[in-house]
Structure 1
Amino acid sequence: MKDDYIRIEGARVNNLKDIHLTIPRHSLCVITGLSGSGKSSLAFDTIHAEGQRRYLETLSSYARQYLGILQRPDVDHISGLSPIIAIEQKTTTRNPRSTVGTITEIYDFLRLLFARASIAYSPVTGKPMIRYTAEQMVALIAQQYKGKRCILLSPVVRGRKGHYRELLDQILKKGFLEVRIDGTITQITHNMMLDRYKSHFIEIVIDKLVPPSQEDADPALLARLRDSVNTALYHGDGSFAVLDPDTGKLDHFSKHLMCPESGLSFPEPAPHSFSFNSPQGACPTCKGLGYTTRIDLQKIIPDPALSIAQGGLDPFGKYRDTTLFQHLEGVAKKYGFSLHTPIKDIPEEGMDTLLYGSEELIYVKSSIGTHTITFSGLIHRMEQMSEQSEKRMAANDRYLEEVMCPECKGTRLNSTALQFRFADKNIAQLAAMDILPLLQWLKNVEDNISERQKKIASDILKELRDRLRFLLDVGLSYLSLNRSTRTLSGGESQRIRLATQIGSTLVNVLYILDEPSIGLHQRDNLKLIHAL
């Protein structure tokens, strides 16, 4: 049948010389030949270019004005084309935020899994965190404090400095007469102020009552307890505490995820809570990169035998009559060396001051006389110059080195995101696993989770397993999801894009691949052919 073939007539793109060709559809076809024989000209510049041009012509004129006009390839006629996807052999992106997990969208499914089916653990006690409904809180208070006097407290300030005069006046206007300040219950007075330089903990005293037991409860007392709990939740932004005045024991309750012992609470998890590209999930120190940059002293001082005057401090060059070198002379005089002293012979204290600065006064001689300064250090000066000028930032980049973020240890996520676990593993641990062990773990994970988690996670787990199998089929079992795409070879990047396309399960699509087996061991070639 005519539709079973792609027919090309009169192709003259680049070094093709009026080629006529028939290619069978629904089959794996290989174009081979010597270098420069026109393989890429036929596959990419003729077949793919014409398929792309025809697709764009189906769009509205309004959409086409933003996409530009594609030139028709130099060919007489092409028939039998399907929708075409070309996967070239090149690195995917140099973006440091891009990983194997993000470009395959597998990490997106992991984020969804943790947002819906994970369990939060308290970083203080290591125990699972809990959440209550208002009715459950009423029942628990009635059970724990029946016949005992207790005090309901709504937290409004947690460990912050300030005098809080306006806040205390607002609390008084709302009808509350007492607050608990730093552990002591105090009556509110007009224009009351606290020590503004100390950190304070302030809680509103909502009610003092003796809860009834639910079995023989007085309806009026139970209604009062229910109203007080709702009021405490409103003023405490979903959290409150119950104080036993006899023992000083404090029990915490929250509609959010909360540690019942310490009172620490987490916001409700969402997919962006586990994204290192989102402020809600990213490590605040490295901003989700997994590494920070610092000045490499070996690059600043490549030859310690040179003196400062000879250009031993590489970013600043040889001695010149400038303000900076006048400051350096002042530091040198204070610590007993000169700018002509080899850097290796400069006293340690003097070298520390040169690099990192000091609050001590330095006497500096200049054309206008002698004056005193505090020297901020050469490294601080380089950082300031980088902030002020992009050109200087590029120049200083060669003196920087990337080091693992000390806060997140390379996981890219903040501490809250790492406290959520699924089958005793957090999302960073799963992203660090190689593809093959991760797939094996996902196959057996349903034996280690609750029935509720199974119902929520079954569809997500199936999608994760399917997408990981596609990566295995193209010979990428040794990669991990947190692997940066900057470190991938051209062949690896191409096979990742291929696995993503296979995972989309489109049919009747014409794929054009540029040497997809490059870099593969011979035993993996059969896997790749089977996947194709």
Structure 2
Amino acid sequence: MPDHGDMTDSYVRVRGAREHNLRQVDVDIPRDALVAFTGVSGSGKSSLAFGTLYAEAQRRYFESVAPYARRLIHQVGAPKVEDITGLPPAVALEQRRSAPTSRSSLGTVTTLSNTLRMLFSRAGDYPEGAAERLDSDAFSPNTTAGACPECHGLGTVHHVTEASLVPDPALSLRDGAIAAWPGAWQGKNLRDILATLGHDIDRPWRELPQADREWILFTDEQPVVTVHPVREAGRIQRPYKGQYMSARRYVLHTFADSKSETLRKRVQRFMVSDDCPVCDGRRLRPEALAVTFEGRDIAELAGLPLAALAETLRPAAARTDDADVAAPLARDLVTRIEILTELGLGYLSMDRPAPTLSPGELQRLRLATQLRSGLFGVVYVLDEPSAGLHPADTRALLTVLHRLKDAGNSLFVVEHDMDLVRRADWLVDVGPRAGEHGGRVLHSGPVAGLAQVAESATRRFLFDSGEYPRHREPREPTGLLRLEGITLHNLRALDAEFPLGVFTAVTGVSGSGKSTLVTRVLADAVTGHLGAGPEDDEETGARPTAELAAAKGLAAVDRLVRVDQKPIGRTPRSNLATYTGLFDTVRKVFAATDAARARGYTAGRFSFNVTGGRCETCQGEGFVAVELLFLPGTYAPCTACHGARYNPGTLEITYRDRTIADVLAMTVDTAADFLADLPAAARSLRTLQDVGLGYLRLGQPATELSGGEAQRIKLATELQRTRRGHTLYLLDEPTTGLHPADTEVLLRQLHGLVDAGHTVVVVEHDMGVVAGADHVIDLGPGGGAAGGRIVAAGTPAEVAAAAGSRTAPYLARRRARPEPS
């Protein structure tokens, strides 16, 4: 039996790793080093770093934890590996979204808010006459002691108005004037109840008496009447008893009590949100807001950018009086904030809601917390820490990583940024391709050694002089879309021009306003022009809209497509096949077989989401939850269907000797050959291959897909559709999570869209992508309040030569490289 605690040599030695697509991998990796794991998407690098090394370290740690405590901690499961020796304890910093509650903030994620509350509690300036000092909980809006009694710590109060409930007063009640009511109510319930009560439902809303309008919208009465519906289209409807509910009562009741997040978001569109009149949006009780430090209350300090907050606290931190209770607390805050500023996060504020932070920002916040933890002898396993970072910020990240290493730790980093990989001490390259064509360690050694590995997809981008092919001459625009007087977040009275018919890259350091300009302002302007309202934020509901003085050139855009990295589904029932519509074709093919027709099976029989064809033991999920006494629950393959998801009757139907479960288990590449004679399926599969997703299984759950994979699935779904008119494609950092080889594949598709006459606008940090664009808009010069301005705009050559642009030197350096051979 090997000694798992043996640390006599300086290597972690892995033998027989078989997690996911790994093929009996044996590899030796040095400790106390910065080790980069590279390879194309789906090659197996994450399976080695996270699925094997981190999972085994966690498993060993949990062996020392009491069984009851294990149940309370999320576990990744035991890896498929024969043996690992020399493995220290591990900490994983993955790319993942934060908790969905808007009460979680940057301050709570980093625990900075705890120290700030203690500072106010123990060293704050209390108003004259205050009876006693408040406990630190009194400065938290998430506690009963601190939350404003009016808004319960939310900072906003919600109400409705006639304008919010009736957006078009020219409509009659019959035509749906009260937009807040559900569609079914409009048709046969509330409308008919109002008619029975004597209200004119065919008169334009604005012509109804004011007293009637107010009663219909705002009454708390709920009269019950017998309704005799008017005959419509020759149909006779029977009388029924109906109870009236005003529009206000319905909206507020649904928002407060509904368990359906979809319903709550729907009614929120008809509500008006204002700052709480008691706390002015500051979320706290008046007693807490009366306490100040350096002349500001806690809400004001929490709302400052971190860099400004550090400057405000620096005088207190510099005090040397041992009796001064503020000095050590202020020093702790300043020191921790300086680390965050080094990582390019100085533009964020402590009260920034956690759901609005990007996965890259969250990972850097956790990285800064680890730097202050004082741990040593630990393996930190990081998932693409450079994600969302401008090249100017990557240098600071590298400095922080080396500080962790110098403190006596090992860093295992899954990374695609070749500049960061070049600075690693050791390189583990996995491949050569994805899925079943990957899973081998092609090189484990010093970075320079990869130059001799011809089959590595990473080698060309790491050592050759260039990366992505670039357009020699930028395309000429076919038109211009101009937005004037933009005001939102850190954009102040900004004018921006987007040329049409070309590929535009929007650049700038983190927090400079790129995503606000593209995915909020530009997207909402075009959406409004096309007749739809702005989308709400998925996590936080309604969001503020931009002030816009004018928008010109929108008439040239016929369609808008937004391709983001949000999941294609939140449960294992959603997968690649269902999202793209491919599964509809597959189910119809199985239903059309002679055996299925003889049994009367329809396409619905071959869905694992409905009763009939699915396995009822696992409800079509393929696995069942296993509850263990004093241990965390786990999942096991269903004993009835053995993971197939269908019942025996359904699995007796085959198409070309394969069951529906067999098809779902196929990769895109395999299915492309198997379904080549079905035009609809072949087109869908071909577009998935074109964006580099041939390695994914058709039935792979959405919960297993990365943000980059989800984004490419969405793009492939769009590419397979027939495109008419002029389409504007907006993408937010589309290369996040992509190996340079995958980025090449993606860029071919995006440039193909432009060649077909459409417009593509991307928010991007990859200088290789920016160098190949037709037009560049660079925001900055800094983040937060120091950003929000267009510092340069023009061709890549023009922006590369722009003075005052933090992007310019990196773009110039990238353009100076010759084309790859």
Distance across 2 between alignment mates of 1:55 and 1:325: 65
Q: 1:520 aligns with which of 366, 383, 389?
A: 389
**Is it true that 1:352 corresponds to 2:214 in the alignment?**
yes
Q: Which amino acid aligns with 2:378?
A: V
Residue of structure 1 in register with 2:150 after alignment? 285
Tell me what 2:39 maps to.
33
Shift of 1:283: 1.0
1:294 positional shift: 3.2
Q: Secondary structure at the match of 1:119?
A: coil
* C-alpha distance after superposition, 1:232-253 (max 9, x if no partner): xxxxxxxxxxxxxxxxxxxxxx
- Structure 2 residue aligned with 1:493: 362
2:116 matched residue in structure 1: 110
Q: What is the 5 A alignment of 1:382-401? A: 382-384=251-253, 390=259, 395-400=263-268, 401=271
1:471 to 312, 335, 340: 340
* Residue aligning to 1:82: 88
How far apart are residue 71 of structure 1 and its match?
4.5
* Pair 421,386 (structure 1): closer, same or farther in 2 beyond 3 Å: closer
Distance 1:382 1:277 in 2: 25
Give the letter for the 1:33 counterpart: G
Map 1:7-46 → 2, pairs under 5 A:
7-46=13-52
Select the residue among 416, 419, 423 that pairs with 2:287: 416
* Residue aligning to 1:228: none
The partner residue of 1:308 within 159, 173, 179 is 173
Deviation at 1:355, TM superposition (A): 1.4
Look up the match of 2:299: 428
**Larger deviation: 288-297 or 476-485?**
288-297
Looking at structure 1, the residues matched to 316 and 75 of structure 2 have their Cα atoms a distance apart, in angstroms, of 51
- Equivalent pair of 1:300/1:399 in contact (CA under 8 Å): no
Instruction: For 1:79 and 1:414, locate their aligned partners in 2 and report how far apart those are by CA, in whole Å.
Output: 55
Distance apart, 1:66 and its partner CA: 6.1
Letter of the 2:312 partner, please give it.
Answer: W
Distance 1:521 1:379 in 2: 47
How much has 1:77 moved relative to structure 2?
A: 1.6
Instruction: Give 1:59 shift.
Output: 2.3
Which structure 1 segments of 5+ residues have no match? Answer: 122-128, 131-256, 258-265, 333-337, 368-374
C-alpha contact 2:107 2:350 (8 A) present in aligned 1: yes
1:429 CA drift (Å)? 1.0
Task: Report deviation, 1:357.
Answer: 2.8
Equivalent of residue 445 in structure 1, options 312, 316, 329: 316
SS at match of 1:51: helix
CA contact under 8 A between 1:115 and 1:271: conserved in structure 2? yes
Q: 1-side partners of 2:259 and 2:119: how far apart?
A: 41
Pick from 60, 63, 81: which aligns with 1:57? 63
Aligned residues: CA RMSD = 3.3
CA contact (8 A) 1:84 1:511 kept: yes
Distance 1:385 1:73 in 2: 45
Q: Which amino acid aligns with 1:326?
A: I
CA contact (8 A) 1:330 1:365 kept: no
Q: Alpha-carbon deviations, 1:194-251, whole Å to 9, x = none?
A: xxxxxxxxxxxxxxxxxxxxxxxxxxxxxxxxxxxxxxxxxxxxxxxxxxxxxxxxxx
Once the two structures are TM-superposed, the CA of residue 279 in structure 1 deviates from its matched residue by 1.2
State the Cα distance separating 1:320 from its structure 2 match: 6.1
Q: 1:433 Cα deviation (Å)?
A: 0.6
Report which structure shows greater RCO (CA 8 Å, sep ≥6). 1
Mapped to 2, the partners of 1:8 and 1:363 lie a distance apart of 73
Residue 326 of structure 1: aligned partner: 193
Give the secondary structure class of the aligned counterpart of 1:511.
strand
Q: C-alpha distance in 2, partners of 1:439/1:70?
A: 38
2:224 is equivalent to residue 340 of structure 1: no
1:109-508 pair list within 5 angstroms: 109-121=115-127, 129-130=128-129, 257=130, 266-295=131-160, 300-314=165-179, 315-317=181-183, 325-327=192-194, 330=197, 332=199, 338-357=200-219, 377-384=246-253, 390=259, 395-400=263-268, 401=271, 402-445=273-316, 455-508=324-377
**TM-score, normalised to structure 1's length?**
0.64
The equivalent residue for 1:4 is 10
Contact 1:295–1:399 under 8 Å retained in 2: no
Partner of 2:101: 95
CA distances 1:477-509 after superposition (whole Å, capped 9, x unpaired)? 110000000111111111111112222121111
CA distance in 1, matches of 2:391, 2:254: 52
Structure 1 residue 414: Cα displacement? 1.3
In 2, the alpha carbon distance for the partners of 1:363 and 1:8 equals 73
The whole-number CA distance in structure 1 between the counterparts of 2:134 and 2:115 is 14
Deviates more, 1:377-386 or 1:506-515: 377-386
On the 8 A contact 2:320/2:327 being kept in 1, the answer is no
Q: How far is 1:432 from its partner? A: 0.6
The structure-2 alpha-carbon separation of the partners of 1:326 and 1:97, relative to structure 1 and needing over 3 Å to count, comes to: same
CA contact (8 A) 2:294 2:312 kept: no
Give the Cα–Cα distance (whole angstroms) in 2 for the partners of residues 364 and 62 of structure 1. 57
Aligned amino acid, residue 44 of structure 1:
F
Native 8 Å contact 1:84 1:509 kept in 2: yes
Structure 2: distance between partners of 1:292 and 1:520: 36
C-alpha offsets along residues 304-353 of structure 1, whole Å, 9 cap, x if unaligned? 44321233323154666657743565473xxxxx1111224334443223
| Alpha-carbon distance between aligned partners in 2 of 1:296 and 1:69, rounded to the nearest angstrom | 48
Amino acid at match of 2:208: I
Equivalent residues of 1:331, 1:354 under 8 A apart: no
Letter in 2 for 1:32: T
Aligned mates of 1:441, 1:388 — CA distance in 2: 42
Alpha-carbon distance, 1:43 to partner: 0.8
Task: After superposing the two structures, state which structure 1 stretch, 496-505 or 320-329, moved more.
Answer: 320-329
Between the aligned partners of 1:352 and 1:13, the Cα distance in structure 2 is 64
User: 2-side partners of 1:40 and 1:346: how far apart?
Assistant: 64
Query: How big is the shift at 1:466?
Result: 1.7
Report if aligned partners of 1:331, 1:353 keep a CA contact under 8 Å in 2: no
Equivalent residues of 2:173, 2:191 under 8 A apart: no
